[in-house]
A and B are shown apart, each in its own frame.
Chain A
Amino acid sequence: MASVTFDHVFKKFGEVIAVNDLNIQIEDKEFLVLVGPSGCGKTTALRSLAGLEEISSGEIRIGDRVVNDVAPKDRDIAMVFQSYALYPHLSVYDNMAFGLKLRKTPKEEIKRRVNEAADILGIQELLDRKPRQLSGGQRQRVAVGRAIVREPKVFLFDEPLSNLDAKLRVQMRAEISKLHQRLQTTFIYVTHDQTEAMTMATRIAVINKGVLQQLDTPQNLYDHPNNLFVAGFIGSPAMNFFRGKLRKDGAKLLFDAGDFSIALPAAKSTSYEPHAGKDVIFGIRPENVHDAEFVPMNIATEKVMAKVDVTELMGNEIFLYLMSGNNTFVARVDPRSQLRVGQQAAVAFDMENLHLFDATTEQAIR
């Protein structure tokens, strides 16, 4: 168990800066998820921590120890790879025991730990098999088991679920969360799937183009994204964005998208005021766009007219794909909604949950 610190870490591959001034303080026992689109540098950051990449500058610490020049084998970490990376010539048991044998752990102790891990993961009956005789999900478990038996200070996961089918992925997600609670160890998990990040993390670090965009708890990230990228990346379906101008109309502030304009809540006018007259981006999540007929009580809304383009019935809700002028956006509305394709409809924006971004800096205006 240990904290992990990225201190002004840079990693360059020739001209390409894969990791750009990364600063993260990961607490002991935390489940930190590094999330971002492919090629954003999150895997490079993880591999640097594992010692599989040398960083160009900065400092990586595990606990209080600077590990920049420490070989992977001496970092006391365990890693689960995307391809599972099981040793094909060894049985499941020997795959899991490999690291312990190298550390000259007594045979009895190895046996105890491997059996315990196999119990936790439900792979007892697979111990004698070779990796090629296992299914994807089973291989995944063995890879996790191989990490567990080592009892390392830090667990690293590099997109461990991306090779599994959707159903298994959901199941393994829950199991990894459970494992984290059980082991009480620092977990660092890389994924491009924001759902995985949201469901498992205690904190999420959103990375784009090598730069840390925001580091916060899942809920805060969802409710208060720092910038346009985070707002668009976290949440599914993604947040709706409208480009337009912030216009002052007497005492009121209006967002003017061209095809429609809506009044912004007075409570936020102090922070919005300085941006009056400038280009802004208005963001609202699909669940905050309601069918005007079925608006929940006690929320302040603004109505916008839009044409229904596509409807998707999900059972518990309906996804509406709407068009207003050149803007297309999505709404998740009450399943009782009677709106049908081609109709001109009134939808209500929940003004408590709007997001406003500076169009040039793309930073949130709060």
Chain B
Amino acid sequence: MAASQANSNIGMSGKRKRKQASPNPPVPQIMKQGAFVPWLYLLPALAVMTFFIVYPMINTIGLSFMNSDGTASAATTCRDGQPCWGVFENYRYALTDEFNTSSPAALWKSFWSSSYGNTIKWIVVMVFGTVTVGLAFAVLADRVKYEALAKAVLFMPMAISFVGAGVIWKFVYDYGTSQTQIGLLNSIITSLGGRPVAWLSTIPINTFMIVIVGIWIWSGFCMTILAAALKSVPDEIIEAARVDGAAEWTVFWKIIVPIILPTITVVVTTMVINVLKLFDLVYVMTGGNFKTDVIANRMYTEMYKNFNVGRGTAVAVILVVAIIPFIYLNIKRFLEQEASR
């Protein structure tokens, strides 16, 4: 009894504690400090997070206004006769350098081969692809006999490191300049009498070829979450729709999808966040060359290849700002879902 009462005080606010008016059995004084004790328990986590997340973030923001080695203001890197945003010079570089502003048409074209344009392609194609494939897998796996086995197999790519997956698919996409094609895809094409394609260096298909790898990896993740949501749709509702006159396709679109829509939304926002952060596949497969660069890879390139700390951190800050709305959406959804339980 004593233990349980003490325990209930630890995690609870002062409000709860006051309800337990009985002074007996005695509770150590420190445990009674409802306003203080919770902080005590949070302290280790807060300290670690402050040291590894909050401090670096503040530092990153600071560095993004500095020159390439963080020794002077970014404004000092401006060159005469070139556009200059003063202390925001690194942001000017990050936001405009990839674009050709000589004409609207050129701007349009350069935008879509920039890291921003590519990131948007990634978001649209990969999120749509993973959610669609994941949902299809979830629905189909639900109807086969060895459901768990099928799901395990479909989930497997998730267990492979992204670098590993990149290497595997580099082999699949390999383009040999000689007669022999060791790339799986090209040997299939040549054995059927077609001409081999340089999948990873042909613009604009190369970006989409890398996106396919992303879909291959992440679909299993989407499937797992969506399958859980599908299982929560009561059988009787589906049966009611069937008796009501709905064909399977109608049942799916008019009943199942609307019911699991909150989950689909969460999967979509989660995937958007994942795609925005995506770096490794591009790094391994093309290194961002052949106009396949994405924001996260560009950050790496500026930071560790060009050793320009100012520009690298500016790209990082832009990336964080782009991700924040989706994190907000995700948390909001999550809270709503919890509230409706």
Contact = CB atoms under 8 A, between A and B. Distances in A.
Interface in A79-95: 79, 81-83, 85-90
A145 to B, nearest CB: 12
Contacts of B44: none
A73 B255 CA distance: 15
A52 B240 CA distance: 10
Interface stretch (B243-251, B285-293, B313-321): B243-251
Contacts, number: 65
A102 B258 contact: no
Residue in B236, B246, B254, B259 whose Cβ sees the most chain A Cβ within 10 Å: B236
Nearest to B239: A52
A98 interface: yes
B243 A50 contact: yes
B237 A87 contact: yes
B332 interface: no
Contacts of B255: 87
B241 interface: yes
Interface string A57-82: 00000000000000111010111011
A103 interface: yes
Contacts of A52: 239, 242-243
Interface residues of A, number: 26
Given A88-B259, A89-B259, A102-B250, A146 B244 contact: yes
A78 B239 CA distance: 11
Contacts of A265: none
Contacts of B242: 51-52, 71-73
A103 B245 contact: yes
Given A87-B255, A89-B259, A73 B237 contact: no
A105 to B, nearest CB: 10
Contacts of B193: none
B258 A89 contact: yes
Contact of B246 (A75, A78, A102): A102
A13 to B, nearest CB: 15
Contact of B234 (A78, A83, A99): A83
A87 B237 CA distance: 6
A79 B243 contact: yes
A79 B246 contact: no
Interface string A284-312: 00000000000000000000000000000
Given A87-B255, A88-B259, A89-B259, A99 B244 contact: yes
A81 B258 CA distance: 21
A11 interface: no
Interface in B255-303: 255, 258-259, 261
Contacts of A75: 243
A21 to B, nearest CB: 25
A55 B209 CA distance: 49
Interface in B204-249: 234, 236-237, 239-247
Nearest to B262: A89
A81 B246 CA distance: 16
Nearest to B242: A72
A150 interface: yes
Q: Interface majority SS on B: helix, strand, loop or mixed?
A: helix
Nearest to B236: A85
A73 B244 contact: yes
Residue in B243, B245, B250 whose Cβ sees the most chain A Cβ within 10 Å: B243
B236 A99 contact: no
A81 B236 contact: yes
A153 B242 CA distance: 16
B259 A98 contact: no
A88 B256 CA distance: 10
A102 B246 CA distance: 7
Contact of B237 (A50, A77, A85, A99): A85
Contact of B244 (A71, A89, A98): A98
A209 B156 CA distance: 45
Contacts of A82: 236
Contacts of B246: 73, 98, 102
A90 B259 CA distance: 10
B249 to A, nearest CB: 11
Nearest to B260: A89
B241 A77 contact: no
A81 B235 CA distance: 11
Contact of B245 (A87, A90, A99): A99
A99 to B, nearest CB: 4
A85 B234 contact: yes
Contacts of A103: 245
A338 B254 CA distance: 66
A21 B33 CA distance: 72
B236 A102 contact: no
A85 B245 contact: no
Residue in B234, B242, B245, B261 whose Cβ sees the most chain A Cβ within 10 Å: B245
Residue in B241, B258, B259, B261 whose Cβ sees the most chain A Cβ within 10 Å: B241
B333 to A, nearest CB: 16
B261 to A, nearest CB: 8
Nearest to A75: B243
B240 A85 contact: yes
B250 A77 contact: no
B299 to A, nearest CB: 41
A109 to B, nearest CB: 15
A88 B233 CA distance: 10
Contacts of A50: 239, 243
List the 5 closest pairs (A to B, CB-CB), nearest first: A99-B244, A85-B240, A85-B236, A89-B258, A73-B245
Given A85-B236, A88-B259, A102-B246, 7 more contacts: A73-B246, A79-B240, A83-B236, A87-B240, A102-B244, A102-B250, A150-B245
26 contacts: A50-B239, A51-B243, A52-B243, A71-B247, A73-B243, A73-B245, A73-B246, A73-B247, A75-B243, A78-B243, A81-B236, A81-B240, A83-B236, A85-B236, A85-B237, A86-B237, A87-B237, A87-B259, A88-B237, A88-B259, A89-B261, A90-B258, A98-B244, A98-B254, A102-B245, A102-B246
Interface of A: 50-52, 71-73, 75, 77-79, 81-83, 85-90, 98-99, 102-103, 146, 150, 156
Interface of B: 234, 236-237, 239-247, 250, 254-255, 258-259, 261
